[in-house]
Amino acid sequence: KLSRLEFLDLSDNMFSGSIQSTLGALTNAKVLLNGIEYRNLSAPLSVCSDLPGFDLTNDPNWCPPERNYLKKFYEEAKGQEWTEDSDWGDEFSNHCGWYGVTCNGEGNVIELSLDNNGLSGRISDSIINLTSLETLDLHDNNLEGSIPNQTGELLALSSLRLSYNDITGTVPNGFADLSQLKLLHLHGNRLRGDVPTLSLHGRSKSSFISDCGSPSDVDPPLSCPSCTVCCNIRQECETVASRTDYGVKAATFTASVVAILVAIAMVSRLYRKSNRSNRRQIFKSFRVFRLTGDEYTTIGKDSVYCFFLSNNFTAFLLSVIVLVVQAICYSFFVEGASLEFGEDNEWAYSYVCPRNSVECRLTAEVTSVGWIF
């Protein structure tokens, strides 16, 4: 009824009761309440957020700023469609009591957990104003759009789960500044580009997960050198440590075998230069061993490895060279099949990172003994 009202001065009075939320409808008016004495210090949410001319908007006692930021987040994430939104948007309730919101002793928001709650729309930029936020869990929803660029300014953030949404775009470079981060889950989205290198505290197998596996929703897949787990479009996952360690172990094993064979060749060469009489006494049992013929049958009479039992150094050296060449070929196979996630190799993903768990679960049935064989 007072839609044309431009100025309302109620300051320096001693009203009782509470400020009426209907004042929020006076969007074109300048409303002055400074100096009034209300027992209920918090002004209605709509007055603080929708009334630009309200003179106490910037007074944190009357209008807690984080309450306004959460309201904007609620609106942009289509809060009216949420599965659970208890007290969200209530005119007079303390925002620390809203569903999924946790505050510290000073009334600052430190946790926002709204996982599997039917969120859609986008992540509001207002989230970056929750400067004390330590935990942000929005996984398993239907959020779209991109990650706010200023998310890297939430320096207290230790846990961030945005997995299993429909988020696109790139990962902000500011993530590299999140020095307190212990957990980051980005998989199950359609992010592209490069993920900044992070040094997560208390790094574990499931600390840092993204869609850096193949096949991927985007081409090329997300690049994430510091990830602990890479997942693909089929929600198949693999630890980065496993593919790296497997290649290192294979290379170490190959190098060890070659080194041993070279050492044997050198010892054999020195042996042939030694005194023949001493050689017959020391290695008599080995000469008897060679004369049985069973070893040739076991190895294969047509195999080049028979040369390992030969007295001829050239033949022995030839068998070593053949083994080295085969070891090199084996290393190429390991590199192509294991060290990179791609559609052109035969790597079998052995983990799954389910929606309802922070930890990834091993699904492979191959044991350590099986890998050795």
Give per-residue pLDDT as tens, 301-332: 555 555 555 556 666 677 677 767 776 766 65
Query: What is the C-alpha separation between 44 and 272, in angstroms, rounded?
Result: 98
Tokens (6 digits) for 201: 């505290």
Total-model pTM:
0.69
53-54: strand order across its sheet: 7-9, 30-32, 53-54
Give per-residue pLDDT as tens, 36-95: 655 556 777 877 776 665 656 667 777 889 999 999 999 999 999 999 999 998 888 899
Tokens (6 digits) for 36: 């009034």
Give per-residue pLDDT as tens, 159-215: 999 999 999 999 999 999 999 999 999 999 999 999 998 877 767 888 999 998 878
- Domain borders along the chain are 1-63, 246-347
Taking CA atoms, 328 is separated from 70, 179, 262, 369, in Å, by: 59, 42, 15, 23
- DSSP H helical ranges for the chain: 45-50, 65-76, 240-273, 276-282, 284-291, 294-299, 313-338, 368-372
Based on DSSP, count helices (H) and strands (E) in the chain, helices before strands.
8, 15
- The single residue listed with the structure tokens 């007290």 is 87
Query: What is the C-alpha separation between 171 and 147, in angstroms, rounded?
Result: 7
